[in-house]
Amino acid sequence: MRATTIHGTRDIRVEEVPDPTLRRPTDAIVKITAGCVCGSDLWPYRGENPIREGATIGHECIGVVEEVGAEVRDVRVGDFVVVPFCHCDNTCAHCRNGAQSVCSNLGFTLSGQAEYARVTQADGTLVTTGGVPDDDLVPSLLALSDVMPTGWHAAVSAGVKEGDTVVVVGDGAVGLCGVLAASVLGAERIVALSRHEPRQAVARAFGATHVIAARGEAAVAEVRELTDGVGVDATLECVGTDEAMTTAIAVTRPGGGVGFVGAPHGVELSARSLFDKNVGVRGGMAPVRRYLPELLPMVLDRRIDPGRVFDLTLPLEQSPEGYRAMDERRAIKVLLQP
């Protein structure tokens, strides 16, 4: 099959690789109709995460079930499915506790920017859309494989509730979906930190009531002013850097919560700084499967349109350009069509 592969820093190619095959009776193979590039793909692209040369890359996709293993019961060949980037059996103790991203049988999509992907624990992982979706729904359904549930997880982890004032740190696709999540969860004021006009526009479309272009201490000062010095009830940290986390804790009011979903790169938290403000911190990889029963109907009923984060669509063969566009922040998020 044709697949996007990574060979080194800023060296992305589209090549012929072997088709994925069923390895376990609980696997399925999905023929991908749409995949995309994730902000987290930029870490290895920029040489900040180790890679295996020539490995396929990409973990977000939707498509049609092509083949299922002997023990797959609920998912059938021909089903149109959302593929959560983290695969889970949805039956183990962790899954029953709502921590599907720490499933005892955790797996990942490894060739989401390609023609086919293997999905482990197919019955637990895959969620059918009930038929081939209308074309206009494709981006939003694709967003359900990672970026929207991740923004949602940030909001849930931060404890966003009706009437809250919320800050979202990070104007990548996850942060923007965090704005949307906070809005759906009833936040009254949503402050997006963003200095990029196209992202500000999406943030406002998703429900941001305020946009602050400043960063770091200047951003903290603006939020303080906006909240009469109190700080906000809940903050979504959607970057994963030390500066972003420091900002997130600083803008949160005493007793408030920070939800963090950006994979932390060298972030240390001082227990004392949390203690002094009684600020809670919670986050991690999103348990995508947990949220889909709630999010999928919202997309199918066109109540939310997280697919707006895709502002560039390319044929799979142009994956390298997709990476470049995101790396250079020319695109928020790139959809790839096999």
Contacts with a copy of itself, residue ranges (CB under 8 A): 93-94, 97-99, 101-102, 157, 228, 230, 233, 245, 253-257, 260, 263-264, 267-272, 274-285, 287
Q: Which is nearer to a copy of itself, 51 or 274 (CB)?
A: 274
Q: What is the CA radius of gyration of the chain?
A: 19
- In this structure, what token pair is assigned to residue 244? 């972003």
Nearer to a copy of itself, 102 or 221 (CB): 102
The answer to whether the CB of 43 falls within 8 A of the CB of 57 is no
Give me the least distance between CB of 233 and a copy of itself, in Å please: 8
Pairing verdict, β 86-87 and 107-108: antiparallel
Q: Is 289 left (phi over 0), alpha (psi -120 to 50) or beta?
A: alpha
Q: How many CB atoms lie within 10 A of CB 122?
A: 31
Q: CB of residue 301 vs a copy of itself: minimum separation in angstroms?
A: 28
Shortest distance, position 44 Cβ to a copy of itself, whole Å? 17
Other beta carbons less than 10 A from residue 118's beta carbon: 22
Q: How far is the CB of 336 from a copy of itself (least distance, A)?
A: 27
Mention every residue, 6+ apart, whose C-beta is less than 8 A from residue 174: 39, 147, 150, 151, 154, 238, 261, 262
What's the min distance (Å) between Cβ of 262 and a copy of itself? Answer: 9
SS3 137: helix
Q: How far is the CB of 169 from a copy of itself (least distance, A)?
A: 14
Least distance between a copy of itself and beta carbon 179 (Å): 21
Which is closer to a copy of itself, CB of 231 or CB of 306?
A: 231
SS3 category, 52: coil
- Nearer to a copy of itself by Cβ, of 200 and 246: the residue is 246
**Contact indicator for 111, 20 with CB cutoff of 8 Å:** yes
How many residues appear in the chain? 338
Measured from the CB atom, the residue of 59 and 199 that comes closer to a copy of itself is: 59
- Between 197 and 268, CB nearer to a copy of itself: 268
C-beta of residue 244 within 8 angstroms of C-beta of residue 168: no
Question: Do residues 309 and 176 touch, judged by C-beta distance below 8 A?
Answer: yes
Which CB, 142 or 244, lies closer to a copy of itself? 244
Nearer to a copy of itself, 4 or 165 (CB): 165
With beta carbons less than 8 A apart as the criterion, state whether 200 and 194 touch: yes
Q: What is the closest distance, in whole angstroms, from the C-beta atom of residue 307 to a copy of itself in the complex? A: 26
> What whole-number distance in Å separates Cα of residue 156 and Cα of residue 98?
12
**The two three-digit tokens of residue 259, written as one number:** 């939800």
